[in-house]
Every structure is written in structure tokens, then in C-alpha cells.
Amino acid sequence: MINQFKEYNYPKQFILIEDEAKKVYKNLNSDQDVQNIDDYLWKVVTTVTQRNVEGKVYHKLQYEDKSIGWVELEDSIQIFRHSPRHFRVMEDEFSTNDINRKMGIDKDFISHFKGRLLNIKSEVFFQGERYYSVFIKNKFHGFHHEDVLDALVSCDISLDPAVPFTFHKISNLTKPVEIESVESLRLVSVFRKARVGKVLVNEDAFYWVALDDVGEDTLKQIATLEDEVKSEVELYIDDIFYSVNVERNKTKEMMSTLLSAKDFLKGKKHTQNPRIDATNSKQTAELKSEVEQYKKEAISATKQLELANRRLEQQKDYSNRLTEQRDRYKDRMTLVEQKLSDLNDRYKSLKEKYEILKDKASKKAK
């Protein structure tokens, strides 16, 4: 299944890591007009499209707004994009890493991360381990190992509103607020390592509290929460959906701009000068033709996106069924283990009774 996702032609992002001797081809039909790849190594590049040539997959790369050319990607790291998630940094466990050093990202990360909510918008696998991309106010701050970050995990746990919690506006618990009356209280997400939780007060407003005050029973429930770590298949699906949504939004923006221009020209008064009026009419006709062309392209793109969505839903449904089968198998194995344990206990009990009866029979025979 992973190979099928790799072959799916959609705009992707990679950290470019290839042999310095590898060439970049401007045209796949010719060996001419090649350039070296070393100017772009350890940069984040985007694939515009891809093509299979004699069993080798070549990607057409773009760096920022500049077209690079065609490259066969073998060692580069794919960036799996997804909806933003919130994390916090674990200051005592934080350390720099090779990815950021090789990408030329050198800064005092702790001073930027300390006490702040970090947005995670993508992740990569480097040397078999998971790294998250960190953003603060839409500014990229490098990739960081999962062990130095504390994920905000969703939950839904009712808390006792009579407990005198100290409520805070922000997650670093530095801005306490007074709440006159607490009628209901629910814990909706937690930073488990930092022992900080987000609560919904009176079904109206969100605040942050220290988990030290929630009680032992609640802490046990929190300990059973599972981290929202996704499999490689799920990451591919999320990345494809992310790309589809980006392209859809671009199409919407383009159509909105063109339709606004069309409406403006419709409402514009004609001048009395026949020569100017004729020129405007020609320009209007050209713009209308261009708008109609974009409409056709947008309809075609929408159909392709809908088809891609249906295929992805089928893949996701298949993945969900596999997960359900695995869970059912685990439940059956647990039940079998329990039955085997019960049978073992019964066997031991019967064996003890047998030994007792045997001993009594032996004594009577004497």
C-alpha cells in the first residue's frame, strides 16, 4: 500500500538529500541542460509533478518560486503535512539535532519555545525516528524529535466543580483568572508530561489548570489516554488530503478574483468615445473568454479532486477495517488468555484435590 501512495502523483514536499554527483535535468527527453544538485541539498523542495521513465520515477522540483528541474529522488525525506496540532517543549530533555544543523537552522530554540504553545504542521522520519516541524505564528522553527515535545492529547473527563482549582488564561499557568461560580467542569485535553490540562468551564469558556489538583482517579484515567501518533499509511492519507485542500483553495481564490473582475467590468459605464468603447468591448470579451476557460479548468479540477477524495476514502475505510480486525483479534486473544488462565487454575485445583484423595487412600491401605 505504501508503494501505491508513493506512486500517486500529487504535489509533495521533501527535504532534499541526494548524492552531490546526481544531476538535475531540465528536460527528461535530453541529457542536455543539466545542473548540479548541491545548491539545493538540505532545502525543503516541492514536487510539481512526477513521471515514470523506464522504471525510474523522476520528480519535477521547485524551490520557493524557482523551478529546479527533474530529479530521481532516492534518499530524500518526504514531509508529511497534516492539520495543526499543539505541543509544548520539554526543557529538561531538549537537545539540538542533525536535521536542523544540516538545514542551517541555528538558534536558541528554548528561548523561543519556553512556555509557549507550539504548532506542529508536519512530520518526517529521519534515521528511523520521528521528528515534528515546529511553527510559532506561522514561522518555521525547525524539526524536533518527538521525545523532546509534549503532545496535547484530547480527552473528555468530568471534574468536580467544587474543587478549588486555580484557572489560567494560558497554558504556562502564569495568568490566573477569577471565576465567580463554577457549575460544570470538563477536562478536554492534557499535556501529560507537563501535567497541565485544558478545561471547559460552565460549557462556556476554556481555561488551563494544573493536573496536580484533579485527584488520583482522574490521573489514572489520564494515564490510559493514547498518544495521537499516526501510522505511515495514515500520514500518507493526511498528506494527500492536505495537498488536495491547498489546490482547491488556490482554485477558489483564482475564480473569486476573476469573477470579481468580471462583475466590475459588467457594472462599468461605457464612455461616449466610440474608439475607447470598442477597445473596452474587446478587452471585456477577452476577459470573459478567459473567465470561461478558467471555469472549465476549475470544473475539471474539481472532478479530479472528487475522484481522488473517493479513492482516498476507500483507502481510509480499508485502513479502518484493518484496525478494527486487529482490535477484535487482540480482544479474542485476551479472552483466550483469560480462559487458559482459568483452565490452568482449575487444573491446579483438581490436581490438589487428587493429591489429597491419593494421600488419604494411601493411608487407608496401610
Among the candidates 177, 204, 223, a domain finishes at 223
Looking from the CA of 245 toward its CB, the CA atoms found within 13 Å total 9
Q: Which residues 6+ apart lie within 8 Å of 182 measured at CB?
A: 161, 165, 201, 202
Residue 282 sits in the same domain as residue 251: yes
Q: At what angle do helices 274-365 and 232-267 cross, to 10 degrees?
A: 160
In a domain, 98, yes or no: no
Buried/exposed code over 174-188 (b: 16+ C-beta within 10 A; e: otherwise): eeeeeeeebeebbbe
Task: Specify the pLDDT at position 271.
Answer: 47
For residue 216, give its domain range.
151-223
Separation in Å, CA 187 to CA 76, 154, 169, 214? 41, 9, 15, 9
Residue 237 sits in the same domain as residue 194: no
In a domain, 191, yes or no: yes
Residue 185 sits in the same domain as residue 236: no
Residue 215 sits in the same domain as residue 256: no
Task: Specify the pLDDT at position 234.
Answer: 92
Round to whole Å and give the CA distance between 118 and 149.
9
Residue 15 sits in the same domain as residue 62: yes
- 56: which strand partners? 53
Asked if 100 and 143 count as a contact pair (C-beta separation under 8 A), the reply is yes
Among the candidates 20, 40, 75, a domain finishes at 75
In a domain, 182, yes or no: yes
In a domain, 166, yes or no: yes
Asked if 201 and 183 count as a contact pair (C-beta separation under 8 A), the reply is no
Burial-class residue 105 by CB neighbours within 10 Å (0-12, 13-18, 19+): middle
In a domain, 83, yes or no: no
Round to whole Å and give the CA distance between 26 and 17.
19
Round to whole Å and give the CA distance between 157 and 184.
11
Residue 266 sits in the same domain as residue 202: no
Task: Specify the pLDDT at position 333.
Answer: 74
Among the candidates 179, 199, 223, a domain finishes at 223
Residue 252 sits in the same domain as residue 310: yes
Separation in Å, CA 138 to CA 50, 121, 144, 248? 29, 10, 16, 21
Which grid coordinates belong to 88?
509544548
Looking from the CA of 138 toward its CB, the CA atoms found within 13 Å total 0
Residue 290 sits in the same domain as residue 237: yes
Q: What is the pTM of this model?
A: 0.69
What string of pLDDT tens digits covers the 366 residues of the chain? 677 888 889 999 999 999 988 889 988 887 766 778 888 999 999 999 999 998 899 999 999 889 999 999 999 999 999 999 999 999 999 998 999 999 999 899 999 999 899 999 999 999 999 999 999 999 999 999 999 999 999 999 999 999 999 999 999 998 899 998 999 999 999 999 999 999 999 999 999 999 998 989 999 999 999 888 889 999 999 999 999 888 888 777 777 777 777 676 666 554 445 554 555 566 566 666 666 765 676 676 667 667 766 777 777 777 777 777 777 767 777 777 777 777 777 877 787 877 788 777 777 766
Among 156, 161, 153, smallest CA distance to 195 is for: 153
Asked if 200 and 167 count as a contact pair (C-beta separation under 8 A), the reply is no
Task: Specify the pLDDT at position 276.
Answer: 44
In a domain, 325, yes or no: no
**CA geometry: angle at 49 spanning 54 and 29, to 5°?**
45
Residue 272 sits in the same domain as residue 198: no
In a domain, 135, yes or no: no
Supply the CATH number for residue 190's domain.
Answer: 2.30.30
In a domain, 107, yes or no: no
Round to whole Å and give the CA distance between 123 and 359.
68
Residue 196 sits in the same domain as residue 236: no
Q: What domain count does the chain have?
A: 3
Whose grid coordinates read 519556553?
A: 114
